[in-house]
Every structure is written in structure tokens, then in C-alpha cells.
Amino acid sequence: MSVTPVFALTPGEPAGIGPDLCLLLAQHAQPHPLVAIASRALLAERAKQLALSVELLDVSPAQWPQQPAPAGSLYVWDTPLQAPVIPGQLASANAAYVLETLTRAGQGCLDGHFAGMITAPVHKGVINDAGIAFSGHTEFLAELTGTAQVVMMLATRGLRVALVTTHLPLKDVAAAISSERLQRVARILHADLRDKFGIARPRILVCGLNPHAGEGGHLGREEIEVIEPTLEQLRSEGLELIGPLPADTLFTPKYLDQCDAVLAMYHDQGLPVLKYKGFGAAVNVTLGLPIIRTSVDHGTALDLAGSGKVDTGSLQVALETAYAMAASRARG
């Protein structure tokens, strides 16, 4: 990797606000070279629609930038669209374009060209409508990097929440929480808090699955039969895990002030609290990958594309988090 770390930025769904975010971000200088992997024509057209003056600077694998782009400019690795883009109108023909931007960014990280990748939101539905099986950035990048197990974690100021299960129907969650899965997720969370966030001895709070963490088996036995024995085994390996605790009281200062992360059992157990606390200033981090990947905490916002009424706060936090993670990793 070059002395000056270069980062990749993917704008996500071309009809959404991702291109807008990239162009608005380019109004301010970044501390590191940042390469947008996107259609140059798309960015030029969206800049015109937004009445933004942005100089698009062409780069490619033949020569990566050595200096951050000046304010008002953006490095672009041109990636051609498959169909014209109208803000707010999805086109399944561009699904392959979206995946190509992710592939270029991910492979660039694997090859050492990029210190990390930052992603704007994609639209899962339109990619599936194109006949491509796709369940999200996390799963796509896991396959691309040959990673058997990854962990989704969202973070905002003062709170990090990782998930044992992610995009599952609620009726399937309990069966998915096996001892093996819980062990894998907890170990990945522990390892990346140390290696990518520089926390020497991570302290992790663990939610129970059931109300009141099962209340001694009266409200469910998953805590007794799976979660508690697994946590005890992990503690014997040196992991500092507190719980399982009832989720309705875990998210209070009494507990959160003493921890580095929360491990929630399912998507809507932990993320509503985090998004209430920090929506618009939160970041999605994929743990367990051999590369650094962060993302915004919001969707494509098709209704706002091209309007100029978007907030770059989450993207800026995603950038800052990726920079900090890369610096922590470089320090070893």
C-alpha cells in the first residue's frame, strides 16, 4: 500500500442520493485521497442538476492519486452505466453497474490499492429485479473476499451495536441463534474492536433474546440453553462479556457508560435504539472482513435525489471511521 492511504467511495444506487452525497462531499477537502468509483457522466449530470461546480479528476489503476483532491474536486475512476439515469426512477439495467463499482472497490482493497472502502446506499430490490441474487453489501463483500462469517455493526457517538442475526424474518431468529453462530460473532466483534478500533480489552454487553432475558426460563429458554453457556465458554477464553441482559434496560447509561459495544440478538432489537440516538450521524461497519468497509446508516432516499436537500452527515462519519480504522490497523 502507498505511503499516502487511498480510499474508495462507491455512490450506490445511481437514481438515489448517493451521487449527490459524493458531489456535496467534494465541496470540502478530505485528509486522504478519495476515489469515487462511479460513472463520470452520471456525476457530471447530477452536478449540473444540483448547480454544483465540481471538477471531476480522472484516475485509474494505472496511476492512483498521491494527494487529497482540492476542495471543489473529486477523483473519479470512471465506471460506465448500462442505462440512462433519471433521479428517483429505478432502472434494473443498472444493477450490474452498481455491483461493478462494489467489485472494483472491494478488489482494490484486497489488492492493497485502497486502505478501505466507503459505500453509499444501494437498492436491494432493483438488483433482485434484474435477476441477480443480492441481499446486501455485507453479504456481497463477504463472498467477494472469501469470508465465511461477517458481522454487521452500527456505531454513533457513544454507542456501538453489533448483530448476531441480520436480515431474517422475526419468526426465524430464535432458531438461527446457535452456540456456534454466537461464538463466531462474539469472537469477530472482540477481535475487530481490538485490531481495527484499537481497544486493548473490549468490554461487550450482550442482550438476551426474550423479554427480561427469559426471566429464568418463564419467558423462553434460549438464554438458559444456548446464550448463557456460550458466553461462559467465551469468557474462559478471555473475552469480557456481560450478560445476557434484558434489552429494555441494557440501553441505559448505567450499562452503556461501562462498555465498548453491545451485541444484540436481532436487527430490530438493537438498531432502533442506535438510530434514535444518532440517525444522520451513524455509520455501518462490516466486521470480520480482511478489508475495511464502512457505510452510511440510511437508504437511497429516491424522493430526494437531485433535490439538493440531503445531509452528508452520515457519509462524513463513515469516512472518518474508515480513516481511523485504517490508522489503527497501520499502527498494528
* Annotated binding-site residue? 194: no
Neighbours of 33 (CB within 10 A): 20
According to DSSP, residue 123 is labeled -
Beta strands in the chain (DSSP E): 7-10, 34-38, 55-58, 73-78, 116-119, 151-156, 159-163, 203-207, 240-245, 261-264, 283-287, 293-296
Reduce the DSSP state of residue 16 to 3 states and report it. coil
Say how far apart CA 280 and CA 302 lie, in whole Å. Answer: 16
Reduce the DSSP state of residue 128 to 3 states and report it. helix
Reduce the DSSP state of residue 17 to 3 states and report it. coil
Contact 291, 110 (CB under 8 A): yes
Say how far apart CA 46 and CA 54 lie, in whole Å. Answer: 10
Q: At what angle do helices 313-331 and 18-25 cross, to 10 degrees?
A: 70
Nearest by Cα to 49 from 41, 37, 59:
41
* Annotated binding-site residue? 190: no
* Annotated binding-site residue? 293: yes
Q: Which cell numbers in the block locate residue 122?
A: 444501494
Q: At what angle do helices 40-50 and 18-25 cross, to 10 degrees?
A: 80
* Annotated binding-site residue? 212: yes
* Annotated binding-site residue? 40: no
Reduce the DSSP state of residue 283 to 3 states and report it. strand
Nearest by Cα to 320 from 197, 145, 142:
197
Q: Which residues are annotated as a binding site for a divalent metal cation?
A: 167, 212, 267
Q: Which residues are annotated as a binding site for substrate?
A: 137-138, 275, 284, 293
Q: Which residues are annotated as a binding site?
A: 137-138, 167, 212, 267, 275, 284, 293
